[in-house]
């Protein structure tokens, strides 16, 4: 079914549509053992000079984003380490998550970390962009701490970085 969907998308709107790119990117990340939602279907429908694109992915059951969790309770250092490990796996797979923030990281009831929302993300080579992702994520913690008084401290990000760097070397 997946190859049929890709053929349909290529025929309708080409490989440059966001839904097609995200579909491929998610499958690549799954192949690299990154916890992301499994894409089910994608389409792009040409409407005049424009197109409408859709992506359907599996629901991550019994999971909440970090904002929802941190407004109620703190996370353990072990969970922050897992978050860092998952981000490191994504980066090793060569994916630049251009909107990495605490709304796009989910934790399920088994404390598995999931990364979501890849619609504007891209494959990236070289160095530097990884630190930009991490800096964006850290700003997101600060922003939500001010906005929603989430239960987060600077040392929590240190635990996240510990998980990240022990898995990038």
Give the domains, in start order, of the chain with CATH numbers. 63-166 (1.10.510.10)
Residue 15's pLDDT is what?
A: 64
Catalytic residue among 96, 99, 119, 151: 99
| Strand ranges (E), 9-104 | 39-47, 50-57, 63-65, 95-96
Contact criterion met (CB below 8 Å) for 82 and 15: no
**Tokens linked to 169:** 């070397």
Residue 7's pLDDT is what?
A: 46
* Known catalytic membership, residue 99: yes
CA distances from 149 to 6, 52, 71, 78, 153 (A): 43, 38, 7, 22, 11
Residue 93's pLDDT is what?
A: 97
Residue 156's pLDDT is what?
A: 99
Angstrom distance (rounded) from CA 128 to CA 142: 22
pTM, whole model, 2 decimals? 0.88
Instruction: Give 10-residue mean pLDDT values along the chain (169 residues).
Output: 49 67 96 97 81 88 98 98 98 97 99 96 95 98 98 98 87
Contact criterion met (CB below 8 Å) for 55 and 21: no
Contact criterion met (CB below 8 Å) for 120 and 102: no
Q: Which residues face 123 on adjacent strands?
A: 95
């Amino acid at each position: 079914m997946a190859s049929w969907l890709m053929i349909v998308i290529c025929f309708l709107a080409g490989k440059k549509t966001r839904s097609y790119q995200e579909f491929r990117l998610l499958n690549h990340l799954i192949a690299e053992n990154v916890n992301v939602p499994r894409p089910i279907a994608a389409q792009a429908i040409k409407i005049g000079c424009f197109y409408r694109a859709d992506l359907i992915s599996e629901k991550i059951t019994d999971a909440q984003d970090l904002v929802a969790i941190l407004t109620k309770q703190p996370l353990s250092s072990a969970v922050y380490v897992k978050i860092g490990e998952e981000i490191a796996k994504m980066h090793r797979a060569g994916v630049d998550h251009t909107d990495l923030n605490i709304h796009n990281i989910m934790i399920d009831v088994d404390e598995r970390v999931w990364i979501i929302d890849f619609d504007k993300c891209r494959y990236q080579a070289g160095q530097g962009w990884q630190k930009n992702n991490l800096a964006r994520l850290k700003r997101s913690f600060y922003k939500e701490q001010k906005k929603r008084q989430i239960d987060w401290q600077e040392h929590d990000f240190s635990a996240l970085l510990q998980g990240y760097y022990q898995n990038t070397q």
